[in-house]
């Protein structure tokens, strides 16, 4: 072999060996790291859409797992993200979740969504379309159509999804299910569910007046897919739940918690009849024509569910 060929041979061998060495270090075996440590390849990189309020507590809960790594989050209001910025100093911060998903799509495995209800579907669908698993705060969506779209998307993109129904993961629901299915309380023919919601203002006139938009807030992004209106502080940071454009009222806030055990425990299908009545004072305030922008201050809803066991309801 000539001197020139020897040099080329050694150069190629060096490059080959160097490449193998780099590959070996990119996926670190557990036995090299040591017992009790988790290899980087075994960690789940999570991004948050909504990092204040419930979004902050969700990300904090995820970070308790040694297998979770919070790498980025997006929030439209810098006033709300102080706790998340402090807890995850290495996470990249965005205003627009669409920009975050575009720039971080190769860095994340899963997305946590905690925004006003009207943005749930569009944010979750955008993540699913990139093949990202989704944890979505309740209510799942702003309406039934959106819920069906996300159900189809989860199957299409083969991702793992979960709605933030914390009560459904507790022992209380499982214990109730065991008691009912064992027949210990007899045949169940009717169920009553109730809540102290709303704990935010409802049944109010639509907010009006001109207000300056806080410099920390991107009001256009905050409104999401809702019709654009002038900024009003009456909606932020929590009272949006009482306005149909952004929230779903008490039913959307609590039904997933208090009605979920009913579906788990009883052999019932989707409701076939729905009847709703609202507080009389709400109608009196508006001369028998309530403000349809706002959810009612209180309501009673009757739903009739067909049984799957061919028995009749009470």
Residue 14, pLDDT score: 41
Q: Is the pLDDT of residue 286 over 70?
A: no
Tally of CB atoms within 10 A around 310: 7
Whole-model pTM?
0.83
Annotated domain spans of the chain:
3-27, 43-164, 169-304
Average pLDDT (111-122) is 98
Q: Is the pLDDT of residue 289 over 80?
A: no
Average pLDDT (102-123) is 98
pLDDT in tens, 41-81: 689 999 999 999 999 999 999 999 999 999 999 999 999 99
In the beta sheet, which residues pair with residue 48? 73, 112
Residues 6 or more apart from 46 whose CB is under 8 A from it? 59, 62, 68, 69, 70, 71, 108, 109, 110, 111, 112
- Token pair for 217: 């807030």
The string over 168-199, giving b where at least 16 C-beta atoms fall within 10 Å of a residue's C-beta and e elsewhere, is beeeebeeeeeebeeeeeeeeeeeeeeeebbe
Mean predicted lDDT score pLDDT of the chain: 86
280 or 222: whose pLDDT is higher? 222
DSSP per residue over the chain, as a string? --HHHHHHHHHHHHHHHHHHHHHHHHS--HHHH-TT---GGG-EEEEEE--STHHHHHHHHHHTSTTEEEEEEE-SBGGG-HHHHHH-TTSEEES-HHHHHHHHTTT-SEEEE-S-GGGHHHHHHHHHHTT-EEEEESSS-SSHHHHHHHHHHHHHTT--EEEE-GGGGSHHHHHHHHHHHTTTT--------------S--S-PPP-S--PPPTTB-HHHHHTTSPP----GGGTTTGGGGBTTT--HHHHHHHHHHTHHHHHHS-B-S-SEEEEEE-HHHHHHTTT---TTB--S-EEEEEE--BSSSPPP-
57 and 107 Cβ atoms separated by less than 8 Å: no
Residue 110, pLDDT score: 98
HSE value, Cβ hemisphere, 13 Å, CA-based, for 17: 6
Residue 235, pLDDT score: 97
296 or 218: whose pLDDT is higher? 218
pLDDT in tens, 296-312: 888 899 999 998 887 76
pLDDT in tens, 164-183: 987 777 888 899 999 998 99
Highest mean pLDDT among 93-107, 185-199, 201-215: 93-107
- Please tell me the distance from the alpha carbon of residue 93 to that of residue 52, in angstroms, as a whole number: 12
Which segment of 17-21, 60-64, 105-109, 308-312 scores lowest on mean pLDDT? 17-21
Residue 166, pLDDT score: 78
Start-to-end CA distance of the chain, whole Å, equals 95
Residue 38, pLDDT score: 63
In the beta sheet, which residues pair with residue 111? 47, 134
Average pLDDT (192-211) is 91
Please determine, looking at this structure, whether the domain spanning 43-164 carries the CATH number 3.30.70.1020.
Answer: no
Q: Is the pLDDT of residue 16 over 50?
A: no
Residue 18, pLDDT score: 41
């Amino acid at each position: 072999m000539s001197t020139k060929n020897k040099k080329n041979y050694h150069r190629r061998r060096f490059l080959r060996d160097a490449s193998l060495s780099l590959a070996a270090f990119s996926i670190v075996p557990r036995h090299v790291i040591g017992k009790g440590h988790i290899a980087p390849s075994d960690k789940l990189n999570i991004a948050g859409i909504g990092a204040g309020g419930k979004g902050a507590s969700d990300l904090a809960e995820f970070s308790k797992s040694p297998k979770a790594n919070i790498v980025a989050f997006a929030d439209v209001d810098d006033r709300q993200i102080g706790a998340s910025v402090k807890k995850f100093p290495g996470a990249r911060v965005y205003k627009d979740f669409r920009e975050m998903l575009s720039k971080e799509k190769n860095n994340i495995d899963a997305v946590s969504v905690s925004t006003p209800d009207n943005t749930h579907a569009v944010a979750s669908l955008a993540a699913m379309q990139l093949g990202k698993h989704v944890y979505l705060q309740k209510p799942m969506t702003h309406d039934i159509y959106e819920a069906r779209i996300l159900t189809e998307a989860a199957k299409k993109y083969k991702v793992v999804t979960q709605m933030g129904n914390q009560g459904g993961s507790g022992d209380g629901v499982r214990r109730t299910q065991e008691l009912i299915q064992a027949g210990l309380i007899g045949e169940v023919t009717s169920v009553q569910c109730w809540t102290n919601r709303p704990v935010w203002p409802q049944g109010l006139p639509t907010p009006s007046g001109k207000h300056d938009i806080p410099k920390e807030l991107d009001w256009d992004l905050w409104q999401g897919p809702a019709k654009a209106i002038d900024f009003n502080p009456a909606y932020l940071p929590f009272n949006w739940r009482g306005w149909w454009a952004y929230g779903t009222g008490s039913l959307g806030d609590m039904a997933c918690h208090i009605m979920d055990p009913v579906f788990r425990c009883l052999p019932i299908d989707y409701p076939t009849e729905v009847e709703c009545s609202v507080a009389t004072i709400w109608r009196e305030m508006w001369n028998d024509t309530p403000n349809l922008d706002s959810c009612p201050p209180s309501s009673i809803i009757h739903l009739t569910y067909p049984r799957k066991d061919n028995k009749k309801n009470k």
